A and B are shown apart, each in its own frame.
Chain A
Amino acid sequence: MKALILVGGLGTRLRPLTLSVPKPLVEFANKPMILHQIEALKAIGVTEVVLAINYQPELMLNLKEFEKKLEIKITFSQETEPLGTAGPLALARDKLIDDSGEPFFVLNSDVISEYPLKQMIDFHKAHGGEASIMVTKVDEPSKYGVVVMEESTGKVERFVEKPKTFVGNKINAGIYLLNPSVIDRIELRPTSIEKEVFPKIAADNKLYAMVLPGFWMDIGQPRDYIAGLRLYLDSLRKKSSTKLATGPHIVGNVLVDETAKIGEGCLIGPDVAIGPGCIVESGVRLSRCSVMSGVRIKQHACISSSIIGWQSTVGRWARVENLTILGEKVQVYDEIYTNGGVVLPYRVIKSSILKPEIVM
């Protein structure tokens, strides 16, 4: 089986992290975001993954390494102009279609979930339609494109973009399983799969939706990234809790890379990921945060609801909170308070940031 991952653009919403690292390689729970998807695809027997990208040579180079490690073929389909959410499928036509006639997966690289892909294959075979999509239940459907479906069979009736009155609470989760024939419906031009392609398949009664079991989150921006980490670690607790850290200084779900060092008298958690090579000195408090590789957090610092970029340093008695995002190699001086500071790479923070602001 094959799969296409829509990687897309520059990941501007996840700046300043994406100023240093292409979005698919930004670690989420100590693993590049795109590896969560590639590993899930590999696990159900996908042999070739096509990445639909813009011109991103660094990304292509890095992913070639994973190709060997994961024993999966990774190829690239490179847009020369933005083709929307459907155009890249037409562009990758030759890579996706072979003699097998098997359906292929399409995944959105910003989405994190439990990837029940095996169940999706079974669902697809059972309904015999042309395309399957995953949908997920949300609290505020008016913010999204709602999928109106027949509850018993999953047959999709229509799509309603940002409905003003309630028509349903299931939205497109960005995970599809498509027969090769779907590509014949897509022209090679900028086009939307949700708005132009799926409605036509639905009109032919050949589009079915499966409700995604478990969590789902689009982690394309910092707030959702941090919320997604909580959901992911919750799910990890249920599936393979041995990967989570334990001990008297741990509260809730915490992921600590084995090469990270944690000092005395710390209190870590809940919902924290600490990357490789990090040094967390004594008396440090971490909660609801992601600490990228090579970070040093000095004594008595306190970090919550924040992302600390690669090789950054947080000074003694510093307080970092409220969606503070530190880019790569940022230095926060001793005793500094940052409340929602978004700090671009290599900046040195010598005075407190009392209200959310961007530090260029």
Chain B
Amino acid sequence: MSSSDERVVAVIMVGGPTKGTRFRPLSLDIPKPLFPLAGQPMVHHPISACKKIPNLTQIYLVGFYEEREFALYVSSISNELKVSVRYLREDKPHGSAGGLFYFRDLIMEDNPSHIFLLNCDVCCSFPLPEMLAAHRAYGGMGTILVIKVSAESASQFGELVADPDTNELLHYTEKPETFVSDQINCGVYVFTPEIFTAIQDVSSQRKERANLRRISSFEALQSPTRSLLTDYVRLDQDILSPLAGKKQLYTYETMDFWEQIKTPGISLKCSGLYLAQFQFTSPHLLAAGDGSKSATIEGDVYIHPSAKVHPTAKIGPNVSISANARIGPGARLKKCIILDNVEVMENAVVINSIVGWKSSIGRWSRVQAEGDYNAKLGVTILGEGVTVEDEVVVINSIVLPYKTLDVSVQDEIIL
């Protein structure tokens, strides 16, 4: 088949409000996929990566958030990227494979030759065209993006073993207790439409088993919820594990960065990774300045055009400043995310922190953390509308929305 008559669709799983609780307090005010990293909504990064796939016809966001939460974003990104982006709402969580299957008719509408499936909560360079080329060469049903990580951290993810010569997936196991492999599943896949048959098989086998049980077991009668699970299909345990070693699934290894965006702390790291990537993909988004007419900029910094930053401030590295934020004279921002409508007053310092929407940081105050992205309090998080009064110091703390801090705090969660 020549690539010119191929059609490709991309599906990005965005989850729902009952997911992403580890992302609190930031996910209290906004769906996690819309939380900005490097000044762009989290989901923007996989979307703009999809835009680079040849013959892409459609991007679907699949999740169980309310339609209205994505309506505005979906219409503006469609306009911006000149590609159709639609939000599809699941009636309930179906799992990543189940979600894909639930919308199979829509996804197959244009008769695509390939379907990309991406999880929204991963941060990586999304080398999608390269993956697609590799997938074609392998000739399998699916290709999984994988990365090598340290042996200690591998067990938090799906560990997999691939043939070193053919790259065929030989073995897959989700979050094993013992070490299996240092290669892990990145949560980015490309499939041929046969994937729907594979999901269908899992689903119908489940139904048969459930029916058998219902007939044979009194216990099953007591527990009718069991049948509800038949359309919940996980991609990893239910599809990847059984199909490993059957010459249907292959791997494509990325040498770039990869993170799972589990917590606000990790999101600060990911924001920095995406800012660094802008040097190659979108240099026009990075700020510059030497303190003469505009603020002194160090390293990779994103400043929204509507934000006002005083020329005597010093910003960076790894800072993103969202819309309508005001950064006062002599302020210092380093390794932080400043959300919409935040005010940072003169001589204040913000380091290793995320400052929530409409928060106010007083004069000579200091919002800081040690910057251990994996620690519970390694990044200071201020929720929406938090006020830090003049000269107050907030260190290694999480502050829930609409609190006023008039005394210094350290290593605390402020409810």
Contacts and interface: CB of A to CB of B under 8 A. Distances in A.
Contacts of A299: 330
A158 B393 CA distance: 48
B366 A283 contact: no
Interface stretch (B99-107, B136-144, B343-351): B343-351
Given A265-B346, A285-B347, A319 B410 contact: no
Contact of A319 (B312, B330, B366): B366
A283 B347 contact: yes
A290 B393 CA distance: 21
Interface in B278-318: 312, 314
Contacts of A267: 363-364
Given A319-B349, A335-B332, A354 B370 contact: yes
Contacts of B245: none
Contact of B368 (A265, A285, A304, A337): A337
B334 interface: yes
Nearest to B346: A283
B187 to A, nearest CB: 35
A319 B393 contact: yes
A184 B177 CA distance: 84
Interface in A296-352: 299-300, 302, 304, 316-317, 319, 321, 335, 337, 339, 352
B332 A265 contact: no
A319 B408 CA distance: 13
A283 B393 contact: no
B332 A337 contact: no
B391 interface: yes
Given A265-B346, A300-B347, A317-B349, A335 B334 contact: yes
B20 interface: no
A309 B123 CA distance: 47
A302 B347 contact: yes
Given A302-B364, A302-B391, A321-B393, A335 B330 contact: no
A287 B364 CA distance: 12
Contacts of A282: 330
Given A283-B346, A335-B349, A337-B368, A300 B391 contact: no
> Counting chain A CB atoms within 10 Å of each CB, which of B366, B396, B410 scores highest?
B366
B93 interface: no
Nearest to A266: B347
Given A265-B346, A335-B351, A337-B368, A300 B393 contact: no
Contacts of B391: 285, 287, 302, 304
A299 B410 CA distance: 25
Nearest to A284: B347
Given A282-B330, A335-B351, A354-B396, A302 B366 contact: yes
B329 interface: yes
A352 B364 CA distance: 17
Contact of A337 (B330, B347, B395): B395
Nearest to A283: B330
Interface string B357-388: 00000011010101000000000000000000
Nearest to B366: A319
Interface string B321-359: 000000001101010000000000011010100000000
Nearest to A355: B410
Please provide the 10 A-B residue pairs with the shortest distance between their CB atoms, ordered closest to farther: A283-B330, A317-B332, A285-B364, A302-B364, A300-B347, A300-B330, A283-B347, A317-B349, A319-B366, A354-B395
30 contacts: A265-B329, A265-B346, A265-B347, A283-B312, A283-B329, A283-B330, A283-B347, A285-B363, A299-B330, A300-B332, A300-B347, A300-B349, A300-B364, A302-B347, A302-B364, A302-B366, A302-B391, A304-B391, A316-B332, A317-B332, A335-B332, A335-B334, A337-B393, A337-B395, A339-B410, A352-B368, A352-B370, A354-B370, A354-B410, A355-B410
Given A300-B349, A319-B366, 11 more contacts: A267-B364, A283-B312, A283-B347, A287-B391, A299-B330, A300-B332, A302-B391, A317-B347, A317-B349, A321-B393, A352-B368
